[in-house]
Structures are given as C-alpha cells and as structure tokens.
Structure 1
Amino acid sequence: MRDTSKREKERERERERERREREGGREGGRERRERERQRERERDRQTDRQTDRQTDRQTDREREREREREREREREREREREREREAERERYRERERQTDRQTERERERERERERERERERERERERERERERERDRQTDRQTDRQRDRQTDRDRDRDRPEALASQQFNEVQRIRTGFCVKTTNKIGATADGFESSSFFKGKAIENEDFSL
C-alpha cells in the first residue's frame, strides 16, 4: 500500500518537473536543469523518508494501541475468570454452610432425642421408685395387719373367758373320744389336743375333767 502511494507521488513529481521544463524553455542549460532535478529528487526523497517515518510511527502507534487493547481485553478476561472462580468459591462456601447447618440441625435433633430418652428413663426410674414405695407400703400394711392380728390373739388369749372357753373345749374333746376343731365364742380357733398322737382318737375313762 505504501509502495503504491510512493510510485504515484513519484509520477506526479515527474510530471511536475516536465511541466516546469516546458515552461522554462531551454534557458539555463542542461547542467542547471540537471542540478534542479537532483535537488528536486533529494527533496522528494526527504519528503518520502519523512512520510515513511510518519507512516511508520503512525503504524507503530496503531499497533501499540491494538496491543494495549488486546492486553486490556486479556485483563478483562482474567477479571471475568477471577469473578467466576470467586463465584465458584462462594457457591462452595455456601454448600459448606448449608451442610454445616444441616449437620448442626441433625445433631440438635439427636441431642433432643437423647434428652427425650433420658427423660423417659427418668420417668421409668420414677415409676420404679413409685412401685418400690408401693411395695414398701403394702409390706408395711401387711406387717401392721399381722402385728395387729398377733396383738389381738395375744390379748384374747390372755382374757379369762378365753382361757375358760379353751379349757372347756379341750375337756369336751377328750370326753367324746375324738378331736374336733372348734371355735370359741370370741372367734379364736382352739386346736386343743387335735395334734397330739396320744389323745387323737382315744377315749379317756375314769377321769374327772369338770371345770
């Protein structure tokens, strides 16, 4: 492109020289015209060099601007990649946070289940303690009843009418010749000689068992 432009300029300058020569005629001679042509060619070469330098500088500046634009595009691509990496890191951190929250919720549910199991165990222990207390109360009541019955028997046995009734029943059994379990008037059982092998089923004669 630059060479074509130079050739076009050169042809234009050559036509200009020819025109000046035609107008100037032949005065001044051949040497003067030759020197003029040399000076003209030198000016053209300087102009061309200057133009080339300007063109080169312009081209260099344009190339540098293009390289800078490309560097900027690359920096922007790198920033975009960094934004994407940061977004991915943030997504990863969010997944980690969600996992941690889920894990913590599951742990809390497990702790609550354990607390509920402990409460149930405590309720069972309390029920067992209550059963134990109830057994103790029943034992105490049974002991009290047995003690009361024993006290009643002891008291009734020591009463004079009870002793007389017991003696009467024993005499009656001996007289009839067999033993019968009887009940005295106050409800106490009098076995008499029922358990004695000596008196059991035997009649005793010629004895006075009157009271």
Structure 2
Amino acid sequence: MRETETTRDRARDRARERERERERARKRDREREKERETERQSERQRDRARDRETERERDRERETERERQRERERETERHRETQSERDRERETEHKRQSERETERETEREREKQSERVRARVRDRARERETERERERQSERETEQERDRVRETVKVRQTERESEIESERE
C-alpha cells in the first residue's frame, strides 16, 4: 500500500508538474502574445508615422508643384506682358515710320509743287523777256524804218534842193 501511495504521489506530482508546465507554457504564450501585440501596435504606429510622413511629403510635393505652376503662370504672364510691350513698341514704331513716310511724301509733294511754281515763274519770265526782246526788235525795226524814211526824205530834199539849184542856174 505504501508503494501504491508513493506511485500515486508520484503520479500526482507528475500531474502537478505537467499542470505547472502547461501553466508556464500558457504564461509564455500569453507573454509572447503580449509581445506580438506590442510589436503589432508598434508596427501600426510606425505605419501610421510612415503614412503621416508620406502624406506630408505628398503635401510638400503638391505645394512644390503648385508653386512651380504659379511660377510658370507668372513666367507666362511676364512673357505675355513682354510680348504685348514689344507689340505696342512695334505698332508705335510702325506709326512713327508711317508718319515719317507721310511727312516725306508731303515734303516731296511740296517740293514738286514748288518746282512747278518755279518753272511757271521761269516760263513767265522767259515769255516776258521774249516779249521785251520782240518789242525791242520791233522798236529797232521801227527806228530803222524811220531812219530809212528820214534818209529817203533827206535824199529827196537834197534832190529837190539840187533841182531847185539847177533851175536857178
């Protein structure tokens, strides 16, 4: 009976030991589960931190892209303004050139008109000079005719006087 008690005691001890071993295993499993849960929480926190950082990076990239877009728009606007200014300058220069050409054309027309006036004045002066020359020529011819008539009269007078002289004798 003693042996049976001892065997039972040992069996009970072994059963207790197995139970303690199972309890330790459960405890280890719980601790491992806690560690895994802690690791999962840490991983989730790291994931959330990574996600926040990724989102901040995306925000910075979006802001950078918006700034680039605003700079492109400003550059485009500056280009448009520069082009508009060039267009205005070109238009102004074209107007000035057109005005200068109009002034030159007007000056050429005035010069032509002045030349025509001078030509008419010269023509009239020539006509007057020609007319005066005709008048002088006519006066010379008239004077020559008078001289011939006087000469003829003198010659006749002389002939008459000679005749009269001859008759007296």
What TM-score, normalized to structure 2?
A: 0.74
Correspondence for 1:51 among 3, 26, 30? 30
Q: Partners in 1 of 2:11 and 2:65 — Cα distance?
A: 79
Shift, 1:139, TM fit: 1.2
Task: State the partner residue of 1:61.
Answer: 40
Name the counterpart of 1:205.
none
Which residue pairs with 1:158 in the alignment? Answer: 137
2:100 aligned partner: 121
Shift of 1:32: 4.2
Residues of 2 paired with 1:34 and 1:161: CA distance? Answer: 183
Q: Distance in 2 between matches of 1:46 and 1:160?
A: 165
Structure 2: which 5+ residue stretches go unaligned? 148-169
CA–CA distance in 2 between the matches of 1:161 and 1:35? 181
Matches within 5 A, 1:64-103: 64-103=43-82
Instruction: Give CA deviations for 1:162-186 in whole Å, capped at 9, x if unaligned.
Output: 7349x79xxxxxxxxxxxxxxxxxx
**Which residue type is aligned with residue 48 of structure 2?**
R
Q: How does 1:179-190 map to 2 (within 5 A)?
A: none
- 1:109 paired residue among 67, 72, 88: 88
> Residue 126 of structure 2: SS of its match in structure 1?
helix
1:141-196 deviation digits (Å, cap 9, x = unpaired): 0110011011111222222687349x79xxxxxxxxxxxxxxxxxxxxxxxxxxxx
Q: Unaligned stretches of 5+ in structure 1?
A: 1-25, 169-211
Identity of aligned residues (%): 48
The aligned length equals 142
TM-score with structure 1 setting the length: 0.60
User: What are the equivalent positions in structure 2 for 1:195-206 lying under 5 Å apart?
Assistant: none
Identify the range of structure 1 (140-149 vs 54-63) with the bigger mean alpha-carbon deviation. 54-63
Higher helix share: 2
Q: Which protein has greater RCO, CA pairs closer than 8 Å, 6+ apart?
A: 1
Query: In 2, distance between residues paired with 1:63 and 1:40?
Result: 34
Aligned residue among 122, 136, 148 for 2:115: 136
- Residue type of the partner of 1:136? E
